[in-house]
Structure 1
Amino acid sequence: MGGIGARKALTPRELTRVGERLSFVYLERCTVHREDNAITAEDAEGTRFIPAATIGTLLLGPGTRVTHKAMSLLGECGAGVVWVGEYGVRYYAGGRALSRSAGLAEAQARVWANRRTRLEVARAMYRMRFPDEDPSKATRRQLLGMEGDRLKAVYREESLRTGVPWYGRKYTPGDFDSGDPPNQGITSAAQCMYGVAHAVVAALGCSPALGFVHSGHELSFVLDVADLYKTDVGIPAAFDAAAEGPIDVGGRTRRLLRERINDTGLLDRCVKDIKTLLLPGGEDAEVEDAADQVNLQSDGGAEFVSGINHGVIW
Structure 2
Amino acid sequence: MTTIGRRPAGSPRELTRAADRASFLYLERCTIHRDANAITIEDAEGTTHIPSATIGTLLLGPGTRITHQAMSVLGETGTGIAWVGEHGVRYYASGRALSRTAGLAEAQASCWANRRTRLDVARAMYRLRFPDDDPSGCTRQELLGREGRRVKDCYRTQARRTGVPWNGRRYTPGDFAAADPVNQAVTAAAQAMYGIAHAVVAALGCSPALGFIHSGHELSFVLDIADLYKTEIGIPIAFDTAATSAEDIGTRTRRALRDRIHEVRLLDRIVADIHHLLVPAEGAIAFDDIDEVTLQTDRDLRLAAGIN
TM-score calculated relative to the size of structure 2: 0.78
- RMSD of the TM alignment (CA)? 3.4
Q: Which residue of 1 aligns with 2:4?
A: none
**Structure 1 range deviating more: 226-235 or 70-79:** 70-79
Deviates more, 1:71-80 or 1:246-255: 71-80
Residue 240 of structure 1, CA deviation = 1.9
1:43-100 Cα deviation digits (max 9, x unpaired): xx99997968657563656x8776545655665562341456x998876543531111
Match of 2:284 in 1: 286
Which amino acid in the other structure matches residue 269 of structure 2?
R
Task: Please name the residue that 1:14 is paired with.
Answer: 16
Query: What is aligned with 2:129?
Result: 129
Per-residue CA deviations over 1:212-262 (Å, capped at 9, x if unaligned) read 001112221111111111110111122222222122322222222222222
Cα–Cα, structure 1 residues 207 and 40, in superposed 2: closer, same or farther, change >3 Å? same
1:57–1:199 contact (8 Å) kept in structure 2: no
Other-structure match for 2:248 = 248
Alignment of 1:134-149 (within 5 A): 134-149=134-149
The 3-state SS of whatever aligns with 2:299 is helix
Letter in 2 for 1:58: L
Question: Is there any run of 5+ residues in structure 1 with no aligned partner, and where?
Answer: 1-9, 310-314
Structure-2 change in CA distance of 1:90 and 1:265 (3 Å): closer
Q: Is the 8 A contact 2:78 2:100 kept in 1?
A: no
Q: Distance in 1 between matches of 2:100 and 2:67?
A: 25
SS at match of 1:21: strand
Following the alignment from structure 1 to structure 2, what is the Cα–Cα distance between the partners of residues 48 and 154? Answer: 47
Deviation at 1:38, TM superposition (A): 5.1
Q: 1:217 to 1:18 in 2, by over 3 A?
A: farther
Checking the alignment, whether the CA contact within 8 Å between 1:238 and 1:253 is kept in structure 2 is: yes
Write the distance in 1 (CA, Å) between the matches of 2:61 and 2:237.
22
Paired with 1:174 and 1:18, the residues of 2 have a C-alpha distance of 42
Correspondence 1:107-122 to 2 at 5 A = 107-122=107-122
- Are 2:304 and 1:305 equivalent residues in the alignment? yes
Letter in 2 for 1:304: L
Q: Report the CA distance shift for 1:48/1:33 in structure 2 as closer, same or farther (over 3 A).
A: same
Residues 199 and 190 of structure 1: CA distance in aligned 2, closer, same or farther (over 3 Å) = same
Any gaps of 5 or more consecutive residues in structure 2?
A: 1-9
1-structure distance, mates of 2:187, 2:57: 21
Q: Are 2:201 and 2:207, in contact at CA under 8 Å, matched by a contact in 1?
A: yes
Q: Is the 8 A contact 1:89 1:188 kept in 2?
A: no
> In the aligned structure 2, how far is the partner of 1:11 from the partner of 1:258?
36
Q: 1:19 touches 1:271 (CA, 8 Å); kept in 2?
A: no
Determine if the alignment matches structure 1 residue 230 to structure 2 residue 246: no
Following the alignment from structure 2 to structure 1, what is the Cα–Cα distance between the partners of residues 128 and 136? 12
Whether the 8 Å contact between 2:237 and 2:256 is mirrored in structure 1 is yes
Q: Is 1:215 matched with 2:215?
A: yes
- Any idea what SS the aligned residue of 2:287 has? coil
1:238, 1:19 → 2: CA distance?
A: 32
Report the Cα distance in structure 2 between the residues aligned to 1:218 and 1:245, rounded to whole angstroms: 35
Identity score, percent: 56
Distance 1:224 1:236 in 2: 19
SS at match of 1:210: coil
Pair 1:18–1:160, CA change in 2 (3 A): farther
Tell me the secondary structure at the aligned position of residue 14 of structure 1: coil
Separation in 2 of the partners of 1:178 and 1:87? 26
Mapping 1:249-268, distance limit 5 Å:
249-268=249-268
Match of 1:312 in 2: none
1:231 aligned partner, one-letter code: T
Deviations 1:137-179 (A, max 9, x none): 2222221111111111111111222222222222222222333
1:141-220 aligned at under 5 Å gives the runs 141-220=141-220
| Amino acid paired to 1:274 | I
DSSP-derived class of the 2:59 partner: strand
The CA distance in 1 between the partners of 2:31 and 2:248, in whole Å, is: 24
Q: Is the 8 A contact 2:17 2:287 kept in 1?
A: no
